[in-house]
């Protein structure tokens, strides 16, 4: 699903050079893809509502939720699979490349995610722990969570779920094992704190 967001972003930015709205849990390869076409990524909190709010801006030409859903602002402000499919077919037809050929020209990315069951009463403690135990050179507070930045394509994003007794974690690494290790490190820290 993350790859689909990159492929469609690449095609849409090549055509229109407008901005793309993506959740902060998406690979940072997206910045490289959009920058190549003179466009930019507008980062949002995960969720359709946040993406919908961004497409109200005229320079946003695409929003993707990173889970296979797309918003085509020219058609509407909500996830629309039919509009996304029609737009994708139109863009692919104009490039005269196969989807696999387009995918091959985009650098590999490694994003993994999981969740930790978190009692409602301990959600604040969990987020405080993430901030206090951060070993990352940079910490970004926002988008409904905390992003621990270890490098340009090495980060962990932690956010408590608004509707369920869960804490959600995403990690990107420079390789699959790097992403898995970052995610495991923070998952283990949360489990230890909640034990």
Output the pLDDT for position 96.
86
Output the pLDDT for position 2.
83
Contacting residues for 87 by C-beta, under 8 A, at least 6 apart: 8, 12, 70, 72, 75
Output the pLDDT for position 195.
87
Per-residue pLDDT of the chain (195 residues; tens, 9 = 90+): 789 999 999 999 999 988 999 999 999 999 999 999 999 999 999 999 999 999 987 789 999 999 999 999 999 999 999 999 999 999 999 988 898 999 999 999 999 999 999 999 999 999 999 999 999 999 999 999 999 999 999 999 999 999 999 999 999 999 999 999 999 999 999 999 998
Question: DSSP H helical segments within the chain, as ranges?
Answer: 2-16, 29-36, 48-54, 81-95, 99-104, 123-132, 176-194
Q: What predicted TM-score, i.e. pTM, was given to this entire model?
A: 0.92
Contacting residues for 125 by C-beta, under 8 A, at least 6 apart: 193
Q: What does the chain come to in residues?
A: 195
């Amino acid at each position: 699903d993350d790859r689909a967001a990159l492929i469609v972003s690449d095609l849409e930015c090549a055509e229109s050079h407008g901005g793309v709205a993506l959740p902060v849990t998406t690979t940072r390869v997206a910045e490289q893809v959009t920058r190549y076409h003179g466009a930019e990524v507008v980062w949002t909190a995960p969720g359709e509502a946040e993406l919908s709010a961004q497409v109200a801006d005229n320079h946003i030409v695409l929003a993707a939720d990173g889970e296979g859903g797309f918003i085509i602002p020219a058609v509407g402000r909500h996830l629309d699979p039919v509009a996304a499919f029609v737009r994708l077919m139109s863009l692919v037809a104009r490039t005269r490349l196969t989807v696999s050929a387009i995918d091959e020209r985009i650098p590999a990315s490694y994003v993994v995610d999981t969740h930790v069951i978190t009692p409602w009463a301990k959600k604040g403690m969990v987020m405080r722990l993430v901030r206090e135990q951060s070993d990352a050179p940079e910490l970004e507070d926002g988008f409904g969570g905390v992003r621990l930045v270890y490098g340009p394509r090495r980060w962990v994003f932690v956010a408590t779920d608004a509707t369920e007794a869960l804490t959600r974690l995403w990690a990107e690494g420079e390789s699959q094992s790097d992403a898995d290790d970052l995610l495991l490190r923070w998952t283990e820290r949360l489990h230890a704190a909640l034990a």
